[in-house]
A = this chain, B = another copy of it.
Protein backbone atom coordinates (compact mmCIF):
# COMPACT_ATOMS: atom_id res chain seq x y z
CA UNK A 1 0.00 0.00 0.00
CA UNK A 2 2.12 2.88 -1.31
CA UNK A 3 1.24 6.23 -2.77
CA UNK A 4 0.03 5.97 -6.32
CA UNK A 5 1.83 8.04 -8.83
CA UNK A 6 -0.07 10.30 -11.12
CA UNK A 7 0.40 9.74 -14.78
CA UNK A 8 3.46 11.69 -15.70
CA UNK A 9 4.81 13.49 -12.68
CA UNK A 10 5.45 12.17 -9.25
CA UNK A 11 3.17 13.45 -6.53
CA UNK A 12 4.86 16.42 -4.88
CA UNK A 13 5.51 15.43 -1.34
CA UNK A 14 4.10 18.70 -0.07
CA UNK A 15 0.75 17.70 -1.44
CA UNK A 16 0.21 14.55 0.53
CA UNK A 17 2.74 14.56 3.30
CA UNK A 18 1.08 16.13 6.27
CA UNK A 19 3.47 17.73 8.68
CA UNK A 20 3.13 16.04 12.07
CA UNK A 21 1.37 18.20 14.62
CA UNK A 22 1.68 18.34 18.40
CA UNK A 23 4.42 19.17 20.84
CA UNK A 24 6.83 16.51 19.65
CA UNK A 25 8.18 17.41 16.25
CA UNK A 26 8.89 14.17 14.50
CA UNK A 27 11.00 14.20 11.41
CA UNK A 28 8.98 13.57 8.31
CA UNK A 29 11.25 10.68 7.53
CA UNK A 30 12.81 7.97 9.68
CA UNK A 31 15.96 8.35 7.57
CA UNK A 32 18.27 11.01 9.08
CA UNK A 33 20.27 13.36 6.86
CA UNK A 34 23.25 11.91 5.03
CA UNK A 35 26.38 11.59 7.15
CA UNK A 36 29.84 12.16 5.83
CA UNK A 37 30.01 10.66 2.37
CA UNK A 38 32.45 7.78 2.04
CA UNK A 39 34.54 7.46 -1.09
CA UNK A 40 32.78 4.35 -2.29
CA UNK A 41 31.14 4.02 -5.65
CA UNK A 42 27.41 3.74 -5.89
CA UNK A 43 26.14 0.51 -7.37
CA UNK A 44 23.07 0.24 -9.50
CA UNK A 45 20.69 -2.70 -9.79
CA UNK A 46 17.56 -2.95 -11.89
CA UNK A 47 14.50 -5.08 -11.33
CA UNK A 48 11.44 -5.64 -13.46
CA UNK A 49 8.32 -5.77 -11.34
CA UNK A 50 6.59 -9.13 -11.70
CA UNK A 51 2.92 -9.88 -11.16
CA UNK A 52 3.40 -11.58 -7.80
CA UNK A 53 4.72 -8.29 -6.40
CA UNK A 54 1.58 -6.27 -7.10
CA UNK A 55 -1.37 -6.00 -4.75
CA UNK A 56 -4.97 -5.14 -5.40
CA UNK A 57 -4.23 -1.44 -5.18
CA UNK A 58 -2.43 -1.93 -8.47
CA UNK A 59 1.06 -1.12 -7.17
CA UNK A 60 3.94 -3.05 -5.66
CA UNK A 61 3.13 -4.21 -2.12
CA UNK A 62 5.32 -2.30 0.33
CA UNK A 63 7.12 -5.36 1.73
CA UNK A 64 8.59 -6.27 -1.66
CA UNK A 65 10.88 -3.27 -1.72
CA UNK A 66 12.66 -4.76 1.29
CA UNK A 67 13.71 -7.77 -0.78
CA UNK A 68 14.94 -5.46 -3.55
CA UNK A 69 17.19 -3.74 -1.02
CA UNK A 70 18.67 -7.11 -0.11
CA UNK A 71 19.43 -7.86 -3.75
CA UNK A 72 20.87 -4.35 -4.20
CA UNK A 73 23.32 -4.61 -1.32
CA UNK A 74 24.26 -8.14 -2.37
CA UNK A 75 25.14 -6.80 -5.81
CA UNK A 76 26.92 -3.85 -4.19
CA UNK A 77 29.16 -6.31 -2.36
CA UNK A 78 29.68 -8.26 -5.54
CA UNK A 79 30.68 -5.10 -7.40
CA UNK A 80 33.27 -4.57 -4.70
CA UNK A 81 34.76 -8.01 -5.05
CA UNK A 82 32.76 -10.11 -2.61
CA UNK A 83 29.76 -12.36 -2.84
CA UNK A 84 27.64 -12.62 0.30
CA UNK A 85 27.70 -16.36 -0.33
CA UNK A 86 31.48 -16.32 0.15
CA UNK A 87 31.17 -14.26 3.31
CA UNK A 88 28.80 -16.86 4.75
CA UNK A 89 31.24 -19.60 3.77
CA UNK A 90 33.90 -17.66 5.70
CA UNK A 91 31.63 -17.81 8.75
CA UNK A 92 30.40 -14.21 8.61
CA UNK A 93 26.70 -13.39 8.79
CA UNK A 94 25.50 -9.91 7.96
CA UNK A 95 22.33 -9.45 9.93
CA UNK A 96 19.86 -6.59 9.55
CA UNK A 97 19.28 -4.69 12.79
CA UNK A 98 17.53 -1.62 11.37
CA UNK A 99 15.39 -0.93 8.35
CA UNK A 100 13.84 2.38 7.37
CA UNK A 101 11.87 3.03 4.19
CA UNK A 102 10.23 6.22 2.95
CA UNK A 103 7.77 5.34 0.19
CA UNK A 104 7.39 8.09 -2.41
CA UNK A 105 5.42 6.73 -5.36
CA UNK A 106 4.01 3.36 -6.33
CA UNK A 107 5.84 1.11 -8.75
CA UNK A 108 3.66 -0.81 -11.17
CA UNK A 109 3.58 -4.17 -12.89
CA UNK A 110 6.26 -4.54 -15.54
CA UNK A 111 8.02 -1.32 -14.52
CA UNK A 112 11.79 -1.42 -14.57
CA UNK A 113 12.94 -0.15 -11.19
CA UNK A 114 16.46 1.14 -10.61
CA UNK A 115 17.98 0.75 -7.15
CA UNK A 116 21.00 2.90 -6.33
CA UNK A 117 22.95 1.66 -3.36
CA UNK A 118 25.88 3.02 -1.41
CA UNK A 119 27.55 2.52 1.93
CA UNK A 120 27.14 5.57 4.16
CA UNK A 121 28.81 4.29 7.29
CA UNK A 122 31.03 1.38 8.07
CA UNK A 123 32.64 0.29 11.28
CA UNK A 124 34.53 -2.85 12.13
CA UNK A 125 31.33 -4.72 12.88
CA UNK A 126 28.62 -2.66 11.30
CA UNK A 127 27.69 -1.31 7.90
CA UNK A 128 24.98 1.09 6.84
CA UNK A 129 23.58 1.14 3.32
CA UNK A 130 21.42 3.78 1.73
CA UNK A 131 19.25 3.24 -1.28
CA UNK A 132 17.34 5.31 -3.78
CA UNK A 133 14.67 3.43 -5.74
CA UNK A 134 13.36 5.04 -8.90
CA UNK A 135 11.75 4.24 -12.21
CA UNK A 136 14.49 3.49 -14.71
CA UNK A 137 12.46 5.12 -17.45
CA UNK A 138 12.27 8.63 -16.09
CA UNK A 139 13.77 8.70 -12.61
CA UNK A 140 10.44 9.02 -10.81
CA UNK A 141 11.31 8.34 -7.15
CA UNK A 142 9.77 5.16 -5.79
CA UNK A 143 11.35 5.05 -2.33
CA UNK A 144 14.40 5.87 -0.20
CA UNK A 145 15.72 3.46 2.35
CA UNK A 146 18.44 2.68 4.83
CA UNK A 147 19.53 -0.59 6.38
CA UNK A 148 22.00 -1.21 9.16
CA UNK A 149 23.69 -4.59 9.30
CA UNK A 150 25.98 -6.07 11.91
CA UNK A 151 28.57 -8.72 11.44
CA UNK A 152 28.10 -11.94 13.42
CA UNK A 153 30.00 -15.18 13.46
CA UNK A 154 28.51 -18.66 13.28
CA UNK A 155 27.84 -18.54 17.03
CA UNK A 156 25.97 -15.31 16.47
CA UNK A 157 28.45 -13.18 18.32
CA UNK A 158 29.55 -9.80 17.07
CA UNK A 159 32.66 -10.25 15.02
CA UNK A 160 34.93 -7.98 13.03
CA UNK A 161 34.42 -7.75 9.31
CA UNK A 162 37.46 -9.14 7.51
CA UNK A 163 39.95 -6.38 6.69
CA UNK A 164 39.59 -6.92 2.97
CA UNK A 165 35.80 -6.59 3.12
CA UNK A 166 36.09 -3.53 5.35
CA UNK A 167 38.52 -1.87 2.98
CA UNK A 168 36.38 -2.67 -0.03
CA UNK A 169 33.39 -1.03 1.67
CA UNK A 170 35.39 2.08 2.44
CA UNK A 171 36.17 1.51 6.09
CA UNK A 172 39.45 1.20 7.93
CA UNK A 173 40.57 -1.80 9.95
CA UNK A 174 40.66 -0.95 13.64
CA UNK A 175 37.90 1.64 13.27
Q: Which residues of A contact B (CB under 8 A)?
A: 1-4, 6, 11, 15-18, 20-24, 26-27, 29-33, 35-36, 50-52, 54-58, 61-64, 66-67, 70-71, 74, 83-85, 88, 93-103, 109-110, 121, 123-126, 128, 146, 149-150, 152, 156-158, 175
CA of A50 to CA of B95 in the docked complex: distance in angstroms? 15
Nearest CB to that of A86 among chain B residues?
A: B110
Judge whether A110 and B85 touch: CB under 8 Å: yes
Given A15-B158, A67-B50, A70-B50, decide whether A55 and B57 contact each other with a Cβ distance below 8 A: no
Interface CB pairs A-B, < 8 A, 8: A1-B70, A3-B95, A16-B125, A21-B123, A24-B36, A74-B110, A99-B101, A99-B103
B contact residues around A52 at 8 Å (CB): 55, 61, 63, 67, 70
Q: Which residue of B lies closest to A156 (CB)?
A: B4
What's the nearest-Cβ distance from chain B to residue A5, in Å?
A: 8
